[in-house]
């Protein structure tokens, strides 16, 4: 049974192609900086947005037309697996990601939910044997069901803490079974609405305990995936504990978890936190904590997580700049945690959406590599900080001075000469590089 009958395998046809079902910039075999685009970009499809999302919003029921929706229950779960692997094959992606509830319906009891999962996981494992598409990461949904109304590991109710732990335990077993390269913890409802009913200290300590138990269990079963925290500042709760990379990193260090985790950075979560995507990537990178990416973009005029497919080339370029400087993403990848708009409801739109996302990151990769090869930003930045390469600056960097010495030095200063930051010139240069990539230069 085919769910995308009218669509052939998507191929690279180059920037001048008019074929909507072709890549214009993503050429999986093309080498950039010594690695193929496919190896470098490690794209993943998000199961929830592509195979379970119905495009409903607070004002209306779903609009998505999905040929597999004629089924129900476990039959629907199985049909989604068939559709998913057909989609992966036609798109040519190396990875996918899922939550437990995306792949199998929850039963009336935890035991029944686990049985449903076992059936679908066995089916996925079977499909993976004949597919090149591997599991970038899995996670569990500890936020949608009403039992998680007050959070999961940060719930006020100990039974919910236990239930959440049991679900993560199963998630780790599934990750091991399917060879997941990473395991993600997005906070879900791990946060609070108001302090007037909240014991923040207990909730944070419990989160710390929960993560340690997850680390221990992964070790116990020999699941060696990279653990990833995915920060988000708000939504669904007004204060999410993993606000951004900086606060997540402080949390990890406080609870002595920093050696077991890295970050999965989502573009739209960064902008919700009042940061740019590249800020979050840089903060993680310079601390050796950049693990993986949820590739999407927010709407510049809307204040919530719109999860749009990435199309902004400026942002993909600056993101790829960070990723190249990081030496790639290691075991991580670029997972499209992105959904088509409510008005883009046909199955074909799922292809158009992934094509624009993949092409946008391919452009970003090419332009960022060229900027790096030509030392455009590096040379400028090195010059801008040149006062730290000699004299008093070098003494500061080498730890040879204290406040006494600095005061003595400052007392002798008469005029401090600054140089321009050249922001506009650098932007003009970046535009030039972007447009040259279009022209195939
Ligand atoms: C929610 C979000 C999640 C995580 C996985 O905003 O990004 O889909 O990526 O739970
Ligand atoms: Co995400």
On whether the CB atoms of residues 15 and 438 are closer than 8 A, the answer is: yes
* Residue 48 Cα to ligand 2 middle (Å): 10
* Residue 230 Cα to ligand 2 middle (Å): 7
- For the Cβ of 102 lying below 6 angstroms from any atom of ligand 1, the answer is no
User: Can you give the pLDDT at residue 286?
Assistant: 98
Average pLDDT over residues 418-422: 97
Taking all residues of the chain, what is their mean pLDDT, rounded to a whole number? 97
What is the number of the ligand 1 atom nearest to the C-alpha of 235? 6
Average pLDDT over residues 348-363: 98
The whole-angstrom separation of Cα 248 and Cα 283 is 11
Choose the residue to mutate in 167, 230, 234, 272 for probing ligand 1, maximizing ligand atoms within 8 Å of C-beta.
230
From the candidates 54, 57, 69, 99, give the one annotated as an active-site residue. 99
- The 10s digit of each residue's pLDDT in 250-263 is 999 999 999 999 99
On whether the CB atoms of residues 179 and 137 are closer than 8 A, the answer is: no
The whole-angstrom separation of Cα 17 and Cα 22 is 7
User: Can you give the pLDDT at residue 71?
Assistant: 98
- For the Cβ of 100 lying below 6 angstroms from any atom of ligand 1, the answer is no
- For the Cβ of 190 lying below 6 angstroms from any atom of ligand 1, the answer is no
Q: 423-438 and 376-384 are packed helices; what angle lies between their axes, rounded to 10 degrees?
A: 170
User: Can you give the pLDDT at residue 121?
Assistant: 99
User: Can you give the pLDDT at residue 41?
Assistant: 98
- The 10s digit of each residue's pLDDT in 166-224 is 999 999 999 999 999 999 999 999 999 999 999 999 999 999 999 999 999 999 999 99
| 439 pLDDT more than 90 | no
On whether the CB atoms of residues 231 and 246 are closer than 8 A, the answer is: no
On whether the CB atoms of residues 310 and 316 are closer than 8 A, the answer is: yes
What is the number of the ligand 1 atom nearest to the C-alpha of 335? 9
Q: Residue 102 catalytic?
A: yes
* Residue 16 Cα to ligand 1 middle (Å): 35
Compute φ and ψ for 268, nearest 5 degrees.
-70, -30
User: Can you give the pLDDT at residue 1?
Assistant: 86
Choose the residue to mutate in 231, 232, 291, 332 for probing ligand 1, maximizing ligand atoms within 8 Å of C-beta.
232
For residue 204, give the nearest of 248, 156, 235, 241 by alpha carbon: 241
- The 10s digit of each residue's pLDDT in 77-99 is 999 999 999 999 999 999 999 99
CA angle at 252 for the pair 247 and 255, rounded to the nearest 5°? 125
Q: Residue 275 catalytic?
A: no
Quick check: bond before 236 cis, omega within 30? yes
Q: Which two tokens stand for residue 22?
A: 């072709």
Q: How many CB atoms lie within 10 A of CB 313?
A: 18
What do you get for the CA distance between the two ends of the chain, in Å? Answer: 43
| 437 pLDDT more than 80 | no
Average pLDDT over residues 130-143: 98
Nearest CA to ligand 1 atom 6: 305
On whether the CB atoms of residues 150 and 206 are closer than 8 A, the answer is: no
Confidence of residue 441 (pLDDT cuts 50, 70, 90): low
Is 4 exposed, middle or buried (CB count within 10 Å of its CB: 0-12, 13-18, 19+)?
middle
Nearest CA to ligand 1 atom 2: 186
Q: Is 240 strand, coil or helix?
A: strand
The whole-angstrom separation of Cα 178 and Cα 172 is 10
Choose the residue to mutate in 183, 294, 338, 339 for probing ligand 1, maximizing ligand atoms within 8 Å of C-beta.
294
Share of the chain above pLDDT 90, in %: 98
Gyration radius (Cα) of the chain, Å? 24
* Residue 86 Cα to ligand 1 middle (Å): 24
């Amino acid at each position: 049974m085919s769910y995308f009958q009218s669509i052939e395998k998507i191929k690279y046809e180059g920037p001048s192609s008019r074929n909507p079902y072709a890549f214009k910039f993503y050429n999986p075999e093309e080498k950039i900086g010594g690695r193929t685009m496919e190896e470098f970009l490690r794209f993943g499809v998000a199961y929830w947005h592509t195979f379970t999302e119905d495009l409903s919003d607070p004002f209306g029921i779903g609009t998505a037309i999905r040929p597999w929706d004629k089924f129900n229950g476990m039959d629907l779960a199985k049909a989604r697996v068939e559709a998913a692997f057909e989609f992966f094959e036609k798109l040519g992606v190396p990875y996918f990601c899922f939550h437990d509830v995306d792949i199998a319906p929850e039963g009336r009891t935890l035991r029944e939910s686990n049985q449903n999962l076992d059936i679908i996981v066995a089916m996925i494992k079977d499909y993976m044997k004949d597919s090149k598409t591997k599991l970038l990461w899995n996670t569990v949904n500890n936020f949608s069901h009403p039992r998680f109304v007050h959070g999961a590991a940060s719930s006020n109710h100990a039974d919910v803490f236990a239930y959440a732990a049991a679900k993560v335990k199963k998630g780790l077993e599934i990750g091991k079974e399917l060879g997941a390269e990473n395991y993600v913890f997005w906070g879900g409802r791990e946060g609070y609405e108001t302090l007037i009913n909240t014991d923040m200290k207990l909730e944070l300590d419990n989160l710390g305990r929960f993560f340690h138990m997850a680390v221990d269990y992964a070790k116990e079963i020999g699941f060696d995936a990279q653990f990833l925290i995915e920060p988000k500042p708000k939504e669904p709760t007004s204060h999410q504990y993993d606000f951004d990379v900086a606060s997540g990193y402080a949390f990890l260090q406080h609870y002595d978890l920093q050696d077991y985790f890295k970050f999965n950075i989502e573009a739209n979560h960064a902008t919700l936190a009042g940061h740019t995507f590249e800020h979050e990537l840089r903060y993680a990178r310079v601390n050796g904590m950049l693990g993986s990416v949820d590739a999407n973009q927010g709407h510049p005029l809307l204040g919530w997580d719109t999860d749009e497919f990435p199309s902004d080339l400026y942002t993909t370029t600056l993101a790829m700049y960070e990723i190249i400087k990081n030496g790639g993403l290691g075991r991580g990848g670029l997972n499209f945690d992105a959904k088509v708009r409510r008005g883009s409801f046909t199955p074909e739109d799922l292809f158009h959406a992934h094509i624009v996302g993949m092409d946008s990151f391919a452009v970003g990769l090419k332009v960022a590599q060229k900027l790096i090869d030509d030392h455009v930003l590096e040379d400028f930045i090195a010059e801008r900080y040149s006062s730290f390469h000699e004299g008093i600056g070098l003494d500061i960097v080498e730890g040879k001075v204290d406040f006494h010495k600095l005061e003595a030095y400052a007392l002798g200063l008469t005029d401090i000469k600054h140089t321009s930051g050249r922001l506009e010139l650098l932007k003009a240069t970046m535009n030039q590089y972007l447009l040259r990539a279009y022209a195939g230069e």
